[in-house]
Amino acid sequence: MNLYFDTSAMIKKYIDEKGSGNVDRLFEDAQAIYVSTIAEIEALSTLRRLVKDSVINDEDFRYLKSEIQSDMRYFNVIDIDDQIKKHAIELIEKYQLKSLDSLQLGTAVYVNGEIDYFVSCNDRLLKSGERENLKVLNPLKRM
């Protein structure tokens, strides 16, 4: 099974929170993992926020940053090209998505022929994905 993870779902591989068990199972069962090039940046931003909020400490941040950067070498990382950017703009107009969400969805649509599921914890993004003919999974829901 080939899966595209947005950052809201991918981060649960590194931070133990609701949905992490489902994400772990999806990673174990996947033949290939696809992510956008922005996933690493978004994930590290999330981790810094967790340091600021005292959920994790600086040592945890450094370790998790290393884990994410190591894992990125094994993921199919999709660069944002002009075609994805153009589609992301269309998705903003169509679904009133936030900028990074539109890039995530635009990237998932771009690789739709290669993936079996778009994985996200963002209900609005999942609904938009379904309207774009993606099969979707939410790790926060029973699977």
pLDDT band at 143 (very low <50, low <70, confident <90, very high): low
- Are 107 and 78 contacting, i.e. CB atoms less than 8 angstroms apart? yes
The model's pLDDT over 97-134, given as tens digits with 9 standing for 90+, comes to 999 999 999 999 999 999 999 999 999 999 999 999 99
Tokens, residue 143: 């699977």
Domain boundaries, the chain: 2-137
Which pLDDT band holds residue 142 (cuts at 50, 70, 90)?
Answer: confident
Q: What is the pLDDT confidence band of residue 14, given thresholds at 50, 70 and 90? A: very high
Q: What are residue 137's phi and psi, to 5 degrees?
A: -135, 140
Task: Give me the phi and psi of 76, to 5 degrees please.
Answer: -85, 100
Predicted local distance difference test score (pLDDT) of residue 70: 98
Q: Which of these CATH numbers, 3.40.50.180, 2.30.40.10, 3.40.50.1010, 1.10.260.40, describes 2-137? A: 3.40.50.1010
> Which tokens in the block code for residue 53?
């909020």
Q: Where are the beta strands (DSSP E) in the chain?
A: 2-5, 32-36, 76-78, 117-119, 136-137
20-78 tens-digit pLDDT: 999 999 999 999 999 999 999 999 999 999 999 999 999 999 999 999 999 999 999 99
Single-letter amino acid code for the residue at 15: I
| Helix-, strand-, coil-residue percentages of the chain, each rounded to 5 | 55, 10, 30
